[in-house]
Amino acid sequence: MANLSKIKRDRMIAFLEQLKEQHSDDESIRAFNEIENQLRDKKYGLVWEEHSEAVDEMLEENIPVFCADPE
């Protein structure tokens, strides 16, 4: 399984690249670069989400429905 944090980070960076193409003023570019730098920085602490759980994969395609337990 791929590292989920890296996949999410790469997706956000790709979206920032699209925004950079759409907004070319200096203030926006500086803000986008600052966000990108924060995304690329090394993260420390309790970060061990290296795989997805089966329930996470199910929830991507299904909506949970809770039913009352008849007693």
Write the pLDDT tens digit of every residue in 26-65. 899 899 999 998 888 866 666 566 677 888 888 888 888 8
Q: Measured between alpha carbons, how far is 39 from 33 in angstroms, rounded to an integer?
A: 10
Whether the Cβ atoms of residue 18 and residue 68 lie closer than 8 Å to each other: no
Q: Measured between alpha carbons, how far is 36 from 29 in angstroms, rounded to an integer?
A: 10
Number of domain units in the chain: 1
Residue with tokens 């070319």: 24
pLDDT for position 49? 62
In the three-class reduction of DSSP (H, G, I as helix; E, B as strand; rest coil), residue 26 is classed as: helix
What does pTM read for this prediction?
Answer: 0.52
Which residue range forms the structural domain that includes residue 29?
1-44
Domain annotation covers residue 23: yes
Q: How far is CA 21 from the centre of its chain?
A: 21
Domain annotation covers residue 30: yes
Domain annotation covers residue 11: yes
